[in-house]
Amino acid sequence: MKTNTSFMQRWFGRGWLSLGYLFLYLPIVVLVVFSFNSSRQDMVWSGFSLQWYAALMQDTEIINGLGLSLRIAVMTAFASVVLGTFAAFVLDRYRRFTGRTIFAGMVSAPLVMPEVIIGLSLLLMLVSVQKAFGFPERGLTTIWIGHTLLGMAYAAVVVQSRLQEMSKSLEEAAMDLGCRPYQVFFLVTLPNIKQALGSAWLLTFTLSLDDVVLSAFLSGPGSSTMPIVIFSRARLGLDPRVNAVAALTILVVTIGVIASSLYIARAERLRQKQISSAGQE
Amino acid sequence: MNFFKNFFTGRRFVIAVPSLWLAFAFLVPFLIVLRISFAEADMADPFGTLLTVADGVMTLKVKFSNYLFILQDDLYVLTYLSSLKFAAITTALCLIIGYPFAYFMARAKPAIRPVLLMLVMMPFWTSFLLRIYAWKGILANNGILNNFLLAIGAITEPLQLMNTQFSLIIGMTYAYLPFMILPLYANLVKMDVRFLEAAADLGATPFQAFWRVTVPLSKSGIIAGSMLVFIPSVGEYVIPELLGGPDTLMIGRQLWDEFFTNNDWPLASAVTVVVIMLILVPMAIFNKYKAEQEDNR
């Protein structure tokens, strides 16, 4: 009887997981498959073709948008990692200071706050700054500021969880050996969290590359990022060139994820080796 | 000189950098929104000062007209209520699908758990916008689902799935499901299975053990996941715009139209303030949970 229920449970579990993954991946599979469809008619398969990729190469609107999006994403990723590391360090190491609760709340609020709200308030602030000082023009800089606000929150979460795991005795040892606090940070803390900084960089880069709402509020005339272009087309209906963009994104992401997980696995093996060889000495 | 040395310690500097940034990009913008929400729609300059000094008399001109309009306008009240409704339905569906999902992930063999986890995270890395767009192709009248159902003979006429409440809820549940699964998984995977063994030894059936041991122990994960889904869904814009119909009222969309189409900045600001008030309590719960999480380590 007991084996019977656990057998049932196991298969129920497998079924649930399979259906869940099917739900999560169905749209992605659909996008990729139909990017190779030869028909103009959107969702009826009528043969393999690369014509939408060819059409995409001619699509200057999307290509220009991609150029702008990539520039903003790189700038956002660097700024978010620096600010996020500051915030994570404060949250993890400084347990008591005036306004800590408010500080923690403000760091994590952009994670959940609806983007229309962040976008609208940032825009109104930037418009008043522009009225007073004559800059920044709406465009790359303003989008960058918005994305960095969001990116910092995500970077802080990633870096903070690594800082929590890190053993404090290394830093204490460095301090005992006479390091100044900034030396401790750059010589001990930073090398220990560099993997987290790397994943925070990648995460904020993708976030920025993907964002529509903040960009729409903060962009000016002539500064349409790729998601803005895609969104305005998706509102009108289906466009097979958008499927081609999706398939290419998925290709890049898949390669990136496989490469980084291989790298992490290798780093982990190396670390294990060092630990075991240190034990033998 | 000494004063400066003492004042600008490293610690103060490290706290000051992110604080100044947050004040500039987060706090000040909300104060400006609050301020503009009290301005008049037809005022030429919504940034003009509310506080005027004339003949030595200080006058503070505060208009509540935008708020009164929101409260008296049936459309706005209905939109707020229906945003809350859709957010609540989305949260409930994510929990119903996501809890067993996270549970079975956490009970899988340790060797395959990282793979299962990565498979949940992968969609995060592919564009949210493109994945929502894909649902348009699946749910359209001549879309994949209808073609499939027609082909197997389950239906004779294509079903109207797109631009309905159904398509909106599918899209929102789809987009937010990983936000429910991840905190639940993080919680359930840490759970000590000896509690379940103890429950079984004391005569509990697996079902009883699940309800009376597993679920209460994962309370913080349930709260975190629900807040991570509920709060952003209330103000969601992209999904209702792409998948919802004209009858699926969502406040994020209303706000967008008020701002971009009607150019009514003061009213849009007032709508924003009301949305913030709606999500303030869930946000406080979320922050309390996060703080507890940090203290528990």
* C-alpha dist (Å) from residue B114 to B110, B117, B118: 8, 5, 6
**In angstroms, what separates the C-alpha of A197 from chain B's closest C-alpha?**
17
Residue A84 lies in a domain: yes
Structural domain includes residue A37:
yes
Q: Is residue A4 part of a domain?
A: no
Mean pLDDT along residues B34-56: 64
Assess if residue A33 is contained within a domain: yes
Q: Are residues A168 and A247 both part of a single domain?
A: no
Class of residue A276 by CB neighbours under 10 A (exposed 0-12, middle 13-18, buried 19+):
exposed
How many Å separate Cα A25 from the centre of its chain? 19
Exposed, middle or buried by CB within 10 Å (0-12, 13-18, 19+), for A34? buried
Look at residue B57 and give its three-state secondary structure. Answer: strand
Closest CA to A62 of B127, B259, B172: B127
Cross-chain Cβ contact A181/B116 below 8 Å: no
Pair B130, A247: CB distance under 8 Å: no
**Do residues A123 and A192 share a domain?**
yes
Q: Say yes or no: A246 and A233 in one domain.
A: no
Q: Which residue has the tokens 């506080």?
A: B51
Total number of domains in chain A: 2
Q: With contact defined as beta carbons under 8 Å apart, do A106 and B257 qualify?
A: no
Listed residues A206, A222, A237: the one ending a domain? A237
Domain co-membership, A178 together with A78: yes
Q: How far apart are CA B123 and CA A249, in angstroms?
A: 11
Fold of B67-296: MetI-like fold (1.10.3720)
Residue A127, domain member (yes or no): yes
Q: Mind telling me how many Å the CA of B29 is from chain A's nearest CA?
A: 5
- Closest approach of B17 to chain A, Cα-based (Å): 7
Does one domain contain both A134 and A221?
Answer: yes
Q: How many CB pairs under 8 A join A and B?
A: 224
Residue A136: asked if its preceding bond is cis (omega within 30°), the reply is yes
Inform me whether the pLDDT recorded for A245 exceeds 90.
Answer: no
pLDDT category at B294 given cuts 50, 70, 90 is low
- Give the whole-number percent of chain B exceeding pLDDT 90: 27
What does the pLDDT read at residue B56? Answer: 59
Contact A124, B33 (CB under 8 A): yes
Statement to judge: residues A41 and A81 lie in one domain: no
Domain assignment of residue A1, yes or no: no
CATH number at residue A158: 1.10.3720.10
Domain range for A31: 10-49+242-281
Residue A279 clears pLDDT 70, i.e. is over it: no
| pLDDT value of residue A1 | 41
Mean pLDDT of chain A: 86
Angle between helices A2-35 and A240-280 (to 10 degrees): 130
Largest CA distance in chain B: 85
Residue B1: band (very low, low, confident or very high) from pLDDT cuts 50, 70, 90: very low
Whether the CB of B290 is below 8 Å from some CB of chain A: the reply is yes
At residue A15, the pLDDT reads 92
Residues A25 and A150 in one domain: no
Domain-located, residue A5: no
Residues in contact with B293: Cβ distance below 8 Å, sequence separation at least 6, in sequence order: B220, B224
What are the percentages of helix, strand and coil residues in chain A, rounded to 5? 80, 0, 15
Q: Is the pLDDT of residue A24 over 60?
A: yes
Same domain membership, residue A252 and residue A171: no
Residue of B11, B24, B99, B125 for testing the chain A interface, max A β-carbons within 10 Å? B125
Of B18, B124, B238, the CB nearest to A86: B18
pLDDT, one tens digit per residue, over B185-231 is 988 988 888 888 888 888 888 888 888 888 888 888 899 899 999 99
What CA–CA distance (Å, rounded) separates A87 from A102?
13
Structure tokens at A18: 């399979």
Check if A103 contacts B (Cβ < 8 Å).
yes
Whether residues A29 and A108 fall in one domain? no
- Return the residue of A nearest to B273 by Cα: A117
Q: Could you tell me what percent of chain A has a pLDDT over 90?
A: 32
Q: How does pLDDT run across B234-263, given as a tens digit for each residue?
A: 999 999 999 988 878 899 998 998 888 888
- Residue B53: beta bridge partners? B58
The terminus-to-terminus CA distance of chain A in angstroms comes to 53
A221, A237, A253 — which closes off a domain?
A: A237
Does the beta carbon of A48 lie under 8 angstroms from any beta carbon of chain B?
no
* Average pLDDT for A147-168: 90
CB atoms A127 and B241 under 8 Å: no
